[in-house]
Amino acid sequence: MKLPLIKLCIAIFASLGLHLSAFATPDLANGKKIDQQKCYACHAKKSGFGNGDMIYTRSDSKVKNLQNLKSMVAMCNTELRLDLFPEDEADVTAFLNKQFYKFK
C-alpha cells in the first residue's frame, strides 16, 4: 500500500519523535499571555523590585543568546511545573526575544 507523500512525511516525523507543530510560526500573543499569567509574578518577586520585566533586562543576565533563552524557558517550565506544551515554550521564547532580547 502506497502512502501519499504528505502522509509519508508525517509518518517519518512521528517515528523520529518530531511534531509538525515544532515548525509552526510562534504565536507571540500566546507567549505574552503565558508570560503575564505564569512568569511575571515570580520574576517580580525574584527581582525584589516588584517588576517582573527587570529580570529580562538586568545587566548580569544569564541569557546571552537564543539557545540560552530557550533553555531558560524550558528549565522554568520543568522546575516550576508550569505545564507548558513545547509549542507554548516556543511562543514564550519568541515573545521574550522580540520584546526584550532581540537575538537573531
Would residue 72 count as lying in a domain?
yes
Percent of the chain at pLDDT > 90 equals: 66
Q: Is residue 38 part of a domain?
A: yes
Assess if residue 43 is contained within a domain: yes
Among 13-17, 27-31, 89-93, 99-103, the minimum mean pLDDT is found in 13-17
Q: Is residue 91 part of a domain?
A: yes
The per-residue pLDDT of the chain, averaged, comes to 87
pLDDT at 82 > cutoff 60: yes
| Structural domain span for residue 86 | 26-101
Is residue 7 in some structural domain? no
Checking if the pLDDT of 22 tops 80, the result is no
- The verdict on residue 12 lying in a domain is no
- Over the chain, what HEC string results? CCCCHHHHHHHHHHHCCCCHHHHCCCCHHHHHHHHHHHHHHHHHHHHCCCCCCHHHHCCCCCCCCHHHHHHHHHHHHHHCCCCCCHHHHHHHHHHHHHHHHCCC
Residue 50: is its pLDDT beyond 60? yes
Q: How far is the C-alpha of 103 from the C-alpha of 86, rounded, in Å?
A: 20
- Of 43-52, 60-69, 84-93, the poorest mean pLDDT is in 43-52
Q: Look at residue 32 and tell me if it is in a domain.
A: yes
Residue 3 lies in a domain: no
How many domains does the structure of the chain reveal?
A: 1
